[in-house]
Amino acid sequence: MKFIVNSKILGQGLQSVNSVISDSKSMPIISNVLFAIRGKELTLTGTDLETTIRTAISLEESSGDVMVAVPAKRMTEIVSTFADGPLLVEVNESNYWITISSENRMAGDMPGENPEAYPILAEEGANDATISIDADVLSSAIAKTAFATAVGDTFRPAMAGIYFDFRGEYAIFVGTDAQKLVRYSRTDIIPQNKTGFIVPRKSAMLVKNIISAAKSENREVKLSYNDKNAFFTFDKYMLACRLIDGKYPNYDAVIPKENTNKLTIDKMVLLNAVQRTALFGNDATPTIQMHLNETVLEIQTEDIDTGRKAKENIPCHYEGEEMVIGFNARSLLEMLKNVGSEEVCIEMSEPTRAGLIIPVGGDPAEEVLMLLMPFLIR
């Protein structure tokens, strides 16, 4: 069986599915990408068993239907060496060897594997709940929450993902690692039912990457979900992921409600001042102290091990009692970089309780609240 495909288009598809593939000693077959040819369409599938990416490519010619598992990394590297143009791919259906050749008569052979060994993956069900979300809105929701999720081993696996909290009339997306939290609400997303599920951070970021790379004029993502899996379909891509099993923390309960001290300030002025000051602090735990009064914010840091220290005063508008509060500079910078407005309001109750970072102005359909636990000053 043989088929002809454009090398550039094939390369783009391989790069997309290859982003989820990793070497597995326990199941070597998943280091392959699954080729499925039906008629004049090639479907590429890659998986790490937790997340699956599938994309469809139109073929210039095809002599029949076939499936074969192809070494993902090597195939991606080989295809990337060809100039934009047609590639002839031949599959020996008896032993799954693959021959790749181009117009300049270059030809190479490589072994594939029996597709029957490839794992059976989750598929959308007829009873799955479904909702359409604007692609750019979903991308923004992921970008504004993923950075706040827990990375690496955590005693609470639920924090390693983004919580999709569908309230019926609107949708909320939440990320937290217990030290910082982001709650992102959208009133222009109206789910069919009230439910909540946790999408792994890696899967969510892959969805965001697909949205960024796709050039489809249809900017709607179809999201289907059940108790175990979520399916994101956009353009010619489908990403399926296994949901994180566990109960998400009661995030509303940790958000302080009475915050009488409010700092309003230009975001970039604050960001640059924190960035500069933190460079003089401790590299392992870069913390800053914020001394607040009516018109001036004083930011300072000190590294007692090296003797480095810095102080910077910047103008601000502050309502409340004079106070001194400490924050992790790295976390504060992450939050400020993910704020879309020119001004931010930081609401605080006391130095030992979390501060809230809220954009001033912006899209009326969205509401962003960022919570950052304080660094206790001794």
Model confidence pLDDT, tens digit, residues 290-307:
999 989 999 999 998 899
Q: What is the pLDDT of residues 160-191, one digit of tens each?
A: 999 999 988 899 999 999 999 999 999 999 89
Contact 46, 27 (CB under 8 A): no
Q: What is the pLDDT of residue 264?
A: 95
Q: What is the pLDDT of residues 232-275, one digit of tens each?
A: 999 899 999 999 999 999 999 999 998 999 999 999 999 999 99
Q: CATH no. for residue 93?
A: 3.10.150.10
Find all residues with CB under 8 Å of 65, minimum gap 6, and list them. Answer: 1, 37, 38, 39
Within-domain flag for 122: no
Whether pTM exceeds 0.85: yes
Last residue of a domain, one of 252, 281, 309: 252
Find all residues with CB under 8 Å of 214, minimum gap 6, and list them. Answer: 135, 234, 235, 236, 237
Q: What is the pLDDT of residue 153?
A: 64
Last residue of a domain, one of 210, 231, 252: 252
Do both 301 and 362 map to the same domain?
yes
Do both 160 and 261 map to the same domain?
no
Q: What is the pLDDT of residues 133-156, one digit of tens each?
A: 999 999 999 999 999 999 876 668
Contact 373, 347 (CB under 8 A): no
Do both 228 and 285 map to the same domain?
no
Q: Which domain holds residue 277?
A: 255-372
318/345 Cα distance (integer angstroms):
9
Mean pLDDT of the chain: 93
Within-domain flag for 182: yes
Q: What is the pLDDT of residue 321?
A: 93
Last residue of a domain, one of 252, 278, 304: 252
Q: How many domains does the structure of the chain reveal?
A: 3
Within-domain flag for 124: no
Q: What is the pLDDT of residues 65-109, one digit of tens each?
A: 999 999 999 999 999 999 899 999 999 999 999 999 987 677 899
Do both 137 and 244 map to the same domain?
yes
